[in-house]
Amino acid sequence: MSTAANASPLHQIAIAGASGRMGRMLIEAVQNAGDAKLAGALDVAASPAIGADAAAFLGASSGVKIASDLREGLKNARYLIDFTRPEGTMAHLRVCRELGVKLVIGTTGFTDAQKAEIQDAARDIAIVMAPNMAVGVNVVFKLLAQAAKALKEGYDIEIIEAHHRHKVDAPSGTALKMGEVVAEAVGRNLQECAVYGREGVTGERDPSTIGFATIRGGDVVGDHTVLFAGIGERIEITHKSSSRATYAQGSLRAVRFLASQPHGLFGMDDVLGLK
């Protein structure tokens, strides 16, 4: 029997936001993956890229044209990777649920109602949703849980994040996830203890709070630091992204994980076996 006959079938993947920075990184990752094939590319109707070959920016031809019609863009796909905005992702989710297309969601900034709708859709399709698809960040989440349990007494907790000037939500979804991980580990409710800004005469720091500081500027891909500040020492756990390629590679790992999942909502901790 030939090698080709023994080969595993290619993962047929569509990319949302195909002409954006992250969309292009995802397309390049799919094009270079030996076990994946670009099967669709989506963008908003107003995009000047509509109708163009999805890999044209690479000086290559994928045979896939960027489309604004969701059903047209998803008709050959078994998976959709989506790093767009909440409103767009929710529209994609509904069509994916209808068509049985599995979904990798890297979008952040969802409301509680939108998260509930994603959870409901997972009864019918398999979904990986994570605020950060980078493998290293998800390892950091695990480290933070361990550190927070040991440092919950006598240490002030601050989360500092920096991103490029084009990011529209703050704090980042990754920073909020870090806050949730730490808060759970120390037995607090993040919604009740988070402080998102300080100005003027604030008084002494409440030791039960978790502070957030946000920086926006230039082309910073994504830096996150959790600071545990005690008396006489500081512990910092930091992750810095120098390229969006790490998010793209993590997304491909999520697709491979979803191949064996008929339905359900999963995180990157499931994908990476960190639970």
Residue 136: partners with Cβ closer than 8 Å, 6 or more residues away: 239, 246
Catalytic residue among 11, 37, 102, 163: 163
Catalytic residue among 65, 142, 167, 263: 167
Q: Position 100: which residue type? A: G
β-bridge pairing 79-82 and 11-15: parallel
**Which DSSP symbol is given to 174?**
H
In the chain, DSSP finds a helix count (H) and a strand count (E) of 10, 12
CB atoms within 10 A of CB 155: 19
Range list of β-strands (E), the chain: 11-15, 36-42, 66-67, 79-82, 102-105, 126-129, 156-163, 194-195, 210-216, 222-229, 234-241, 264-266
Based on the residue annotation, tell me whether 163 is a catalytic residue of this protein.
yes
Q: Which two tokens stand for residue 248?
A: 């793209």
> How many Å apart are CA 207 and CA 65, to the nearest integer?
54
Sheet containing 264-266: order of strands: 66-67, 36-42, 11-15, 79-82, 102-105, 126-129, 264-266
Q: How many CA atoms lie within 13 A of 12 on its CB side?
A: 12
**Residue of 238, 269, 87 lying closest to 169 (CA atoms):** 87
Hey, which residues are catalytic here? Answer: 163, 167
